[in-house]
Amino acid sequence: MRETIQLIIVFLISSVIHWALVSFGANYNIAVNFMFVVAAAVCALYNKWHGYTLAFFAGLFLDFFGVNLFGAYALTFTVCSGIMYLAKKSFALDSVPTQIVLIFILSIFSVLFYNFSGIIFLKGTAWHGFKSLFLGALINALIAPCVFMVFKTLNFRAMEE
């Protein structure tokens, strides 16, 4: 129960930070996705039930405020959570370079997967360009070690199953 309350608080705080970063990044055509980084950190540090749940609801939260395909963010975040749990078995996610590389690759994958979902279901998508894709992924990757450190510092680690 303690972990669930922690994650609800994390979700509320991260949603505010996400919208602040999105507003700032929109001025420079950079797609920063803080909710994605938080969902990835939760998947790295919590068990599957908590990780998948937070990732799904973080994606659903972004879908409520989006104007495109409803459910695409929830699907994208859930698929990326599965990839995080696969990576968790193979890599040491306590290492900062591993966090940076994994979040960079997953950020690019998530944008491409989201846009591919739009092409399949809506017959089109809003592409913001490669600059937005790579700079957003780079900023997500640079934010990731800070988010991981905050989770570890505050001892937000659930017991593994």
CA dihedral defined by 38, 107, 89, 78, rounded to 10 degrees?
Answer: 70
Give pLDDT, residue 130.
82
Average pLDDT over all residues of the chain:
86
Distance between CA atoms of residues 49 and 151, nearest Å: 17
Answer yes or no: is pLDDT of 161 > 70: no
Q: Tell me what pLDDT residue 86 has.
A: 92
Q: How confident is the model at residue 160 (pLDDT cuts 50, 70, 90)?
A: very low
Please check the confidence at residue 143 and state whether its pLDDT lies above 60.
Answer: yes
Domain range summary for the chain, segments of one domain joined by +: 1-154
For a pLDDT cut of 70, what percent of the chain falls above it?
Answer: 94
End-to-end, the C-alpha distance of the chain in Å comes to 15
**Residue 157: pLDDT band with limits 50, 70, 90:** low
Per mean pLDDT, which of 54-68, 103-117, 122-136, 144-158 is the most reliable? 103-117
Per-residue pLDDT tens digits for 2-43: 778 888 888 999 999 988 888 887 788 777 889 999 999 999
DSSP string covering 100-142, please? HHHHHHHHHHHHHHHHHHHHHHHS------HHHHHHHHHHHHH
Which CATH number describes the domain made up of 1-154?
Answer: 1.10.1760
Q: Determine how many CB atoms are found less than 10 A away from the CB of residue 35.
A: 25
Mean pLDDT (whole number) for 130-146: 90
- pLDDT tens digit sequence for 74-102: 999 999 999 999 988 888 888 899 999 99
Q: What pTM was estimated for this model as a whole?
A: 0.87
